Amino acid sequence: MSISKDEIRDVYEKLRDQMKRQFSRTVSFADYFTDRWERARYEGFGEGTSVYDNVLILGDVRVGRHTWIGPNVILDGRGGLAIGDYCSISASVQIYTHDTVRWSTSLGKAAMEVRPTLIGDGVYIGPGSIVQMGVKIGNRAIIGALSLVNKDVPERARAYGNPARVLTDRSVPE
């Protein structure tokens, strides 16, 4: 059975218009044809978790329950990545468990470096933030938008900036 471009376009336009009416938003082409919760189940993520179709998932990535993973996110689990329950991973966040700095600068003689990265329960990571390999973010921490997280962030802390700095006098309330 063959489907024409025009038939695909018609279905796309109907789905796009329906989403615009129902939710007042538009999304990338593939997200009209996929189910974010089904993708999370396919990846083995926890109950109630959703992940957009355009999220790049590499290696060993474990995600808990009721976590939202926004569009254009990179989840690099080559060194082991664990994300807890009830997290919000905003659009365009990048979470790494490896880097190739030594590999590149040694002209391929050194190995890629890997270290596990851990994101606790109830963590919010703002849009465009980058979490480097080996970082641990404690439960209920908040990472501000566009932050570069290259050091551990304690439980209930707020961290912002490039590089991210922990605000010691402003913990997250109960």
Half-sphere exposure of 156 (CA within 13 A, CB side): 7
- Residue labelled with tokens 């489907």: 3
* Known catalytic residue at 66: no
At 162, list the tokens. 């490039």
Q: Which of 119, 120, 66, 128 is nearest to 91 (CA)?
A: 128
Q: Identify the active-site residue in 98, 136, 140, 158.
A: 98
* Positions marked catalytic: 98
